[in-house]
A and B are shown apart, each in its own frame.
Chain A
Amino acid sequence: MIAESGHYALVLALGLALIQSTVPLIGARLGDVALMNVARSTALAQLLFVGASFVALVMLHVNSDFSVANVYENSHSMKPLLYKITGVWGNHEGSMLLWVSILALFGGLVASFGNNLPLSLRAHVLAVQAWIASAFYLFILVTSNPFLRIANPPIEGRDLNPVLQDIGLAVHPPMLYLGYVGFSISFSFAIAALMEGRIDAAWARWVRPWTLVAWIFLTLGIAMGSYWAYYELGWGGWWFWDPVENASLMPWLAGTALLHSALVMEKRNALKVWTILLSILTFSLSLLGTFLVRSGVITSVHAFATDPTRGVFILLILCLFIGGSLALFAGRATSLKQGGLFAPISREGALVLNNLLLTVACAVVLFGTLYPLAMEMLADFKMSVGAPFYNLTFAPLFAMLLLAVPFGPMLAWKRGDLLGVTQRLLAAGVAGLVVIAITWAWVRGGSALAPLAIGLGVFVIAGAVTDIVERTGLVRLPFATVLHRARGLPRSAWGTAFAHAGLGVALIGIVCETTWNSEYIATMKPNDIAHVAGYDLKLDGLLQRQGPNYREMIAEFKISRDGEALTVMAPSKRSFTTRGSSTTEAALLTRGASQLYVSLGDATAEGAIAVRIYYKPMVLLIWWGPVLMAFGGVLSLSDRRLRVGAPKPARAKQRLQPAE
């Protein structure tokens, strides 16, 4: 019954979405308030039904109802409860259901918190949301129904892919989806603005918080996925420039650009057309990501979804939405009025430069991802584009961007004084140079790039600090005044500083890890000692253990440094009987921001085992950086301006309210 109810709820949600995608628009044409308000109720009802459908699938997984194909293929009665739940989205059908659930969640949020939106704008926004929702409900119902029953239910399930049986699966996909799907809001706002043919600074103020929310989740989602790969895959890699990763990086780059251009639009009423275009592109890239992953076009051999009907369906959705929105943009964009003027050297100018560099970086990633596909299809030329290509093309763009980052927030709007800002950033620049010199001297030769990059990272962090110091008057004013000014500083200024500093932090982590990572690969017998980066690792012994749905072999290492015993590390290797596959559980020892990383290979007949030990200096900075960025985003989101300052449109109704 649960499966059928879930299925039926999804069908009802489709019905509601179809109503929501048409009726409010008719209402807006006719100026009928009641019809426009339909959008609000349907959006909330949709959330209810999709939510019910999602809960139904979760219940089926928790109950291990193997009469449902999706549960049979991805679950096992012995699986721990957490993985029974997370397994819901550890497969194609379930993850699409999560996708639409989050879409409905955002629709519901706009419906409930969009009271200060002009009625017709809200009607348009929710209608566009419903178009997206309808397309994806149809996709699920036609090609990927998670509630399909099996005629002769098997007794036991086939278990979830062991690598996915990790806490990472509980956090990473939902976060990433909140990011991807969150950008649908700015997309819907953009389409609504184009359809209504009007857009103003207030529009940017409504859109910015939604974009910010999506961006925060996407930032955390990507970072989380990267850390998951780092500890789960067993060789300490954290970014592979894999098409699937690129699919998440592209919306992030475009979304970051959008966040900044929306700022210009909100503050200065400029860059309107460009902001609209970016809103469209950001969500289009999210859709493209869905297509790349879900259709299996990237690898015909190993990706989950190799069923061509799914691929063609998503391709159709993609063409319809991207093509349609761009056509609408081409037709309507010229009717949008251009806004405020600014000198090339100004805050606006800096944000335009930011947008240029981020968009080019995004285009490079997009090209690198799609070029091999295009060449294979059009010219029958098989080629690869991997990490070395991106290191050469993407990295210089980001270096340029980072060099400019500290200047942006310190330039004045309209017309800035570059020389003055340079003087104010002198201390930050000197800090960067000193760090370059020290690092250079410390590593004595070697790659010149690493000290330079670290210096750049320090410059970015010091620049962010300088901005706050300047604004609060630290150093030159008495402490009480500084404190007062710090409290009075808009939260968004703090947010900017944190987010920008996060970039520098991540850069330092990336450089340290890639340059000074030491590794030790060997076959070890019990009582052998490995020496890595000043640490001594003594293999004490190997033992076997039985887990809930796997067997594991654990190796115990006694770790010491300079004769002082520190701790015991126990990396393991798990073999999952149902799927006949295994995972490596690396052991990590965190020392400050650095980590010692031990993972196991195969055991030999003589009781020895292949071991990989890494010392990764400053590696945690790679993820602390994005966490700082997200924290900056949260601060900015809590800014008064975005919270209560959301503009109240002048409507007749409000004149009736008391003035105070």
Chain B
Amino acid sequence: MRRMMVAFIALMLLALPAAHAVLPDEIMSDPAKEARARELSRELRCMVCQNQSIDDSDAPLARDLRLLVRERIAAGDSNAQVLDFLVARYGEFVLLKPRFERQTLLLWLLGPLLLIGGGLALWLQIRRRSRSGVDVPTSPLTPDEEARLAALMSDDTKSSELRKAT
């Protein structure tokens, strides 16, 4: 609810030796490798934070992970290998973008399925309604409603007559 507050508090609890995400001494000398490291960092979760990537987080653990990622890149790992290495170590929890597999099938497919399903349902409904006739049968007015309508109509004529008179 107070969306930032929790994030703030989570952050503050972790940030006592405050530092800001990537620190100057972590940066790799090869800009291409550093860019890869940043890209990977954004997909990895700082496991002690609330939904923060290690790229954003100040936590010491995030720093350790950032250094680890850079170490693996320096050792010549591909991006996929780095991710595999971290998943083997810390589990799927470390991935901010869950892998497409049995447990996450529903999560990934929900959006497209809902869109297609919803679209299909709407299309069918429109077809059914247009086939079933020009208009939906409307129920006739109840005596009560008739009376109110009559009252309204007479009201209207009276007021327009009055308007004419003035």
Give chain A's interface residues, CB within 8 Å of chain B. 90, 95, 161-164, 168, 172-173, 176-177, 180, 222, 225, 228-229, 232-235, 237, 240-245, 247-248, 289-290, 292-294, 298-299, 301-304, 337-338, 341, 343-344, 352, 356-357, 359-361, 363-364, 367-368, 371, 375, 379, 381-389, 392-394, 397, 521-523, 573, 580-584, 599, 601-602, 610, 612, 650, 655, 659-660
Contacts and interface: CB of A to CB of B under 8 A. Distances in A.
Contacts of A383: 92-93, 95, 98, 103-104
Given A384-B93, A655-B155, 9 more contacts: A164-B5, A176-B2, A222-B3, A299-B50, A302-B50, A360-B114, A382-B91, A385-B107, A522-B24
Contacts of B74: none
A368 B97 CA distance: 11
Contacts of A176: 1-3
Contact of A521 (B1, B3, B22): B22
B66 to A, nearest CB: 12
B16 A659 contact: no
Nearest to B49: A302
- Among all A-B residue pairs, the 8 with the closest Cβ atoms: A386-B96, A388-B97, A659-B159, A302-B10, A163-B8, A293-B1, A244-B3, A382-B93
A244 B163 contact: no
17 contacts: A164-B8, A229-B3, A232-B4, A233-B8, A244-B5, A292-B1, A298-B6, A341-B129, A344-B123, A371-B107, A384-B95, A388-B97, A580-B16, A601-B18, A601-B23, A655-B151, A659-B163
Contacts of A610: 19-20, 23-24
Contacts of B70: none
A584 B15 CA distance: 11
Contacts, number: 234
B115 interface: yes
Interface of B: 1-25, 27, 42-43, 45, 48, 50-53, 56, 91-98, 103-104, 106-108, 110-111, 114-115, 118-119, 122-123, 126, 129-130, 134-136, 138-139, 148, 151-152, 155, 158-159, 162-163, 166
Contacts of B151: 650, 655
A162 B12 contact: yes
Contacts of B148: 650
A381 B103 contact: yes
A521 B24 contact: yes
A141 B87 CA distance: 46
A294 B6 CA distance: 10
Contact of A360 (B17, B45, B51, B115): B115
B103 A379 contact: yes
Mostly, the B contact residues are: helix
Contacts of A172: 2, 4
B12 A161 contact: yes
Contact of A228 (B4, B17, B20, B158): B4
Contacts of B107: 367-368, 371, 385, 389
A386 B97 contact: yes
A98 to B, nearest CB: 10
A660 B92 contact: no
A659 B156 CA distance: 9
Contacts of B4: 168, 172, 225, 228-229, 232-233, 244-245
Given A397-B111, A655-B155, A388 B43 contact: yes
Nearest to B162: A659
Which of A384, A385, A386 has most chain B Cβ within 10 Å?
A384
Contact of A294 (B1, B17, B50, B114): B1
Contacts of B91: 382
B111 A289 contact: no
Contacts of A364: 110-111, 114
Contact of A381 (B92, B96, B134): B92
B161 to A, nearest CB: 9
A240 B52 contact: yes
Contacts of B123: 344
B20 A601 contact: yes
Given A235-B21, A382-B92, A573-B18, A293 B108 contact: no
A562 B39 CA distance: 32
Contacts of A581: 12, 15-16
Nearest to A339: B136
Nearest to A608: B24
B141 to A, nearest CB: 12
A599 B97 contact: no
B11 A602 contact: no
A454 B103 CA distance: 36
B51 A237 contact: no
A392 B9 contact: no
Given A241-B51, A356-B119, A367-B110, A384 B6 contact: no
B39 to A, nearest CB: 10
Contact of A363 (B9, B56, B111): B111
A232 B18 CA distance: 13
A229 B53 contact: no
B19 A601 contact: yes
Given A356-B119, A384-B45, A389 B96 contact: yes
Nearest to B155: A655
A375 B103 contact: yes
Contact of A298 (B23, B50, B114, B119): B50
Contacts of A367: 106-107, 110-111
B51 A240 contact: yes
A231 to B, nearest CB: 11
Centre residue among B50, B95, B135 by max chain A CB count within 10 A: B50
Contact of B98 (A225, A237, A379, A389): A389
Contacts of A352: 122
Nearest to B116: A360
A516 B44 CA distance: 22
A364 B112 CA distance: 9
Contacts of A301: 10, 48
B118 A612 contact: no
Nearest to B151: A650
Nearest to A361: B111
Nearest to A522: B24
B103 A173 contact: no
Given A384-B45, A602-B19, A650-B151, A95 B2 contact: yes
Contact of B3 (A225, A344, A357, A379): A225
Given A383-B93, A393-B108, A248 B3 contact: yes
A252 to B, nearest CB: 11
A235 B51 contact: no
A387 B42 contact: yes
A584 to B, nearest CB: 7
B20 A234 contact: yes
B115 A385 contact: no
A177 B20 CA distance: 31
Contacts of A248: 1, 3
Nearest to A524: B24
A650 to B, nearest CB: 5
